[in-house]
Amino acid sequence: LSLKNISNDPQYKQKESFLTMQGRGLFMNKGEINLYFIAKLFDPKQTFLVKGTFGKMELNTLNSMLERNESVNLDGTVNSLNFEFTADTMKASGELTFLYQNLKIEINNKNGYLRDKISTWFTNYSTIDSNPRPGQKARTGSINYKRDPERFVFNYGIKSVMTGIKSTLVKE
């Protein structure tokens, strides 16, 4: 992680200055992740740009986290995830490309075996199992998220990326 141009010196209020952050690491010790963040300092709308890439990883790696928080299990492979969005105090918008294969989703709401099986079937029926599909070009997702000002900026970023991922998964 590198941080540049951080100062509380009032002279920088007179100049056009930017905060930039870059990070690189492994997500859950499996998938390589690269993030780039840039924000203009003293911007009244607090506008920032985020770019990111995510490398190949088996989706079942996420299950320990998803079971507790979302009551789902995933199977399949992420080949890559690339996104870029601009956000401010109100909303985030941008584009995302999520390449994956053999996606299977299992719902575990603990609402009863039959209800969970029906939910699982419906979810998998309405979800595209691979992007790109054989013989087709890759689908691009749209990032569009309205900010909850009560939540921290990391939550805002994650929720924004999730809107793009969801838009690549759902059948039209």
CB 118 within 8 A of CB 158: no
The average pLDDT across 147-172 equals 89
Task: Measure the CA–CA gap between 12 and 84, rounded to whole angstroms.
Answer: 27
Query: pLDDT tens across 45-78, in order?
Result: 999 999 999 999 999 998 888 777 678 899 999 9
* pLDDT attached to residue 5: 65
* Residues shown for the chain: 172
Least confident of 25-39, 48-62, 108-122: 108-122
- For 86-119, b/e burial (b = at least 16 CB within 10 A) is ebeeeebebebbbbbeebebbbeeeeeeeebeeb
**Over the stretch 75-97, which tens digit does the pLDDT of each residue have?**
999 999 999 999 999 999 999 99
Considering the chain, what percentage of its residues have pLDDT values greater than 70? 91
Q: Is the per-residue pLDDT at 4 higher than 70?
A: no
Amino acid at 22: Q
Please answer whether residues 80 and 49 qualify as being in contact, where contact means their C-beta atoms are separated by less than 8 angstroms: no
- What mean pLDDT comes out for the span 94-118? 90
pLDDT at 13: 66
pLDDT for 154 equals: 85
Average pLDDT, the chain: 89
